[in-house]
Structures are given as structure tokens and as C-alpha cells.
Chain A
Amino acid sequence: MFVKKTGILLLILASMIISSCEKDDICVDGETPLLVIEFFEFDATEETTKAVSELRIVGEGKNVTVNTIADRSDLQSITLPLRVNETSTTYSFIMNSADDTNGAETGNTDILTFNYNNKEVYVSRACGFVMHFDTLSSILETDTENWIKNIETTETLVENQAVTHVKIYH
């Protein structure tokens, strides 16, 4: 009888341990990836990275700069968030960003639009669903003085941040 009772208690205990301790309580498996952009030297014969000086990036219709990069700093590689409930995201890339005495922008502004398709992907119980983007394309709005000379979408599927998706030559 004692053995039986101990057995029952052990089983109940084991059940409680198995059902309560979960490795999937906190989301660690993945999240919606950011777009990875790298800047390259346009004139170089061999592919060489080239930082953009005093880069400032502002999303279309936003009055704050993007929160994934240090504002007005020299950057050679950046990450940008894409809008998950839209199929395009537009950013103003401002080189040599500075304010004049009146507070107006004096840098060279180029407007880039990223078009893509949304793909909702289930990750885990804790993370739920994340967004992946495929058929990515980048369009530069031409103006009188584009500092961006060429754009190359090297990876059309955005599912992680391990690879560079867009190469910008300037």
C-alpha cells in the first residue's frame, strides 16, 4: 500500500513538473526581421564599403528619426523596420544632415521606397506570428541631385538579419 501511495504521489508530482515548467514561456525564437542595408563605394572597381557621413533617416510622414540607428552619424551598415501592415515603406535618407540657423535641413535628401509582400509566419507559442517579407524591391525617387547612385536588392526574401538585403552605392 505504501508503494502504491508513493507511486501515485510521484506521478502527480511528475505531472505537475511536466505541465508547469515550460521552455516556451518567453519569446526567444524569433521576431520580425529588420531590413539590412549596406553602403558601398560607387566608383570602385572592387566592391568596397563606404560609410555615409552624418546619415539621418526619417520615415515617410514621421517627424522623428528612425530608432534603429544613431542619428547623424557615419554609418556603413544600417537596419530599418518595415511596416508590417503595409506592402511598402518609404524613408528619407539624408546625407550630411545638419540644420541651418533657422533649423531647416541642409543635407542631401534622397527618398527610397521599399515594396514587398507580407508573409505571416508562425514561430512558437510564446512569439506567436512574425512577419517575413518577400519579393522585395527598392525604388529611388529621382531628384536633381541624388547622392545615391545605384541600388541593388541582393536578397528579395527578408526572413532574418544575417544577410544584407539591399546594397546602396554612392
Chain B
Amino acid sequence: MLKYIISIFFLFVSILGVSQSKTIDLNKKDSVVYKEPYGIRVGADLSRLAKNFYNNDYSGFELTGDYRITHNLYIAAELGNENNTRQEDYFNFTTTGSYLKIGADINMYENWYGMNNTIFIGGRYAYSTFSHKINSYQIYDPNRYWYPDDFVEGAANLSEFSSLNASWLEFVLGTKVELFTNLYLGASVRLGFLVSNKSDDQFANIWIPGFNKVTEGSKFGTGYNYSISYLIPLYKKAKKKKKEDPKTVNNTQTKN
């Protein structure tokens, strides 16, 4: 029995010897070319979803999407609907409306092998249609002769200010990280610059869906989102090789 085992042992040794007859290339070039996934990535903003639960004055959502065109260029868009009530010092109002942002993201981050993360800068053109409703208001009258205690509640029923719209340009800085295959977690901060702002004669647009708070005398607005998105892979494409790398060229030559 032992004889056989020893014989088998020698048999393996001989095979090993055969495989070692070939010289080991210690500087072997990876012949597997990594192909990057291309497709449509769809998702939703987690911060707006969460706000529905912790903020009674807010309901709304934002859908996000992008489509990869080249190695680092994406067409991106956001679509949202918001219903937000704000309490100011002397009035309370609700803004309801939808918005669409369309633009592009450029990935500034060079991934390691097999990774599909992005750190991007982007731009958007955004358009929002909305309406305001004054829920309650007080008349700002500092004289306390007729009303010794407080400002008078507004009596006239201020109607809803509807068919308002605004458009703005948005600068985006963000990141998307692949958590699991095709599932991405993203975050972005946004700086908006109002281009057009159609308001009612009797009220100003001091909050715009998608743009957030509008400061009087300023055209800038800020925003952010935390997105969770899923990549629907359509095809895979390898990144174009850079030809200027001399080492790669040398290696290929010696191999040939």
C-alpha cells in the first residue's frame, strides 16, 4: 500500500517538473481587460424621503437618474415634487410644485481596477412650476394703540398664488460609491443661480421647489441630496488605452 502512495507522490513530482519547464514571467501583463459597465442609473433622494417622516411640514420626493456616455461623462437629471410649509415671523405659507433638472456630470476620479466610484462636478439647468398658499398671516403694524397685545391676524383670504415658475442654473459637486454590484450611494451639494423668477404681484417667491430658500436681494440658493441608485447595465466597454505609456509598449514587444 505504502509503495503505491510513494509511486503516486513521484508521479506528481514529475508533473510539477513539466510545468516548471516554462519560465515564470514575473512582470506579466494582465491580459484581462476590465470592461466598465455602461447603462442607466436610476435612484431616489434619501434626504427628501426621510424628511417626510421627521418633518410634518414637508412632503416630497426626488428621483435621480443618469446615463453614462463616455468613460467620465454622464448625462444626469433630477425630477422632484415638493410640498413645503414654512413659518416665517409674521406669516405661514405652503409651497407646492414640481421641478426638473437636466445636465451633465463629469467624473474627476480615476478608479482602481474593478471599481466604479465617481467624484463628480456637474451642471444643471433647472425649471420649476409651483404655487404658494398663505395659511395665516399677521399685519405688521408696530403701533399698539388699537391693538395693545399683538399684531392683528390677517382677515382677507389671500388667495393661492398659482402658475408661478422659476428657472436656474445649478453647480453640482458630488460623489457616488458602489456599495454592492450596481447599487450606488451618492451625495451631492448644489449651488443654484436664479435665471428667471416669475412671482405674483402680491407675494414673492421666497421658497422654490428644488431650489429651496430664496434670499431677498440674492439670486443664489443652496441644496443637497443623498441618493440611493441602481445601475441598469446595458453594455460594457473597456476604457480606451493610453498609448503614451512606454512601459506597456516595451512589455508588449518582448512578449511578441
> Are B89 and A27 touching (Cβ within 8 A)?
yes
> Are A59 and B146 touching (Cβ within 8 A)?
yes
Residues of B within 8 Å of A12, CB to CB, are: 189
Residues of A within 8 Å of B147, CB to CB, are: 84
Which of A24, A68, A84 is within 8 Å of B217, CB to CB? A24
> Are A81 and B220 touching (Cβ within 8 A)?
no
Q: Interface-forming stretch among B12-20, B22-30, B134-142, B248-256?
A: B134-142
> Are B90 and A31 touching (Cβ within 8 A)?
no
Residues of A within 8 Å of B152, CB to CB, are: 84-85
Residues of A within 8 Å of B146, CB to CB, are: 59, 62, 81, 83-84, 89
The answer for the CA separation of A59 and B147 in the assembled complex, in Å, is 12
Dominant secondary structure at the B interface: loop
**Contact A128/B88 with A23-B215, A24-B216, A118-B156 known, Cβ cut-off 8 Å:** yes
Flag whether A18 is at the interface (Cβ < 8 A): yes
A67-83 near B? 1/0 per residue, CB < 8 Å: 11000000000000101
Residues of B within 8 Å of A105, CB to CB, are: none
Which of B90, B143, B203 is within 8 Å of A68, CB to CB? B143
The CB with the most chain A CB atoms within 10 A, among B108, B138, B141, is that of: B141
**Contact A126/B89 with A15-B191, A84-B139 known, Cβ cut-off 8 Å:** yes
The answer for the CA separation of A118 and B156 in the assembled complex, in Å, is 9
Residues of A within 8 Å of B91, CB to CB, are: 128-129
Q: What is the chain B residue whose CB lies nearest that of A120? A: B156
Residues of A within 8 Å of B142, CB to CB, are: 31-32
> Are B213 and A19 touching (Cβ within 8 A)?
yes
Flag whether A49 is at the interface (Cβ < 8 A): no
Residues of A within 8 Å of B119, CB to CB, are: 4
Min CB distance A93 to B, Å, is 15
A29-49 near B? 1/0 per residue, CB < 8 Å: 011101000000000000000
Flag whether A140 is at the interface (Cβ < 8 A): no
The answer for the CA separation of A34 and B142 in the assembled complex, in Å, is 10
Flag whether B202 is at the interface (Cβ < 8 A): yes
> Are B140 and A130 touching (Cβ within 8 A)?
yes
Which of B141, B173, B191, B217 is within 8 Å of A32, CB to CB? B141
Flag whether A14 is at the interface (Cβ < 8 A): yes
Q: List 10 interface pairs A-B (beta carbons < 8 Å), by A numbering.
A: A11-B173, A14-B191, A18-B221, A59-B146, A62-B145, A68-B143, A68-B145, A81-B146, A129-B138, A130-B141
A-B complex: 7 closest residue pairs judged by Cβ atoms: A128-B90, A32-B141, A81-B143, A15-B222, A24-B216, A128-B91, A19-B222
B-binding residues in A (CB < 8 A): 4, 7-8, 11-12, 14-15, 18-19, 22-24, 27, 30-32, 34, 59, 62, 64, 66-68, 81, 83-85, 89, 118, 120-131
Extra pairs beyond A12-B189, A68-B145 (13, CB < 8 Å): A15-B222, A19-B213, A19-B222, A24-B215, A59-B146, A67-B144, A83-B146, A118-B155, A120-B156, A125-B204, A127-B140, A128-B88, A128-B138
A-binding residues in B (CB < 8 A): 88-91, 108, 119, 137-147, 152, 154-156, 158, 173, 189, 191, 202-204, 206, 213, 215-218, 220-222
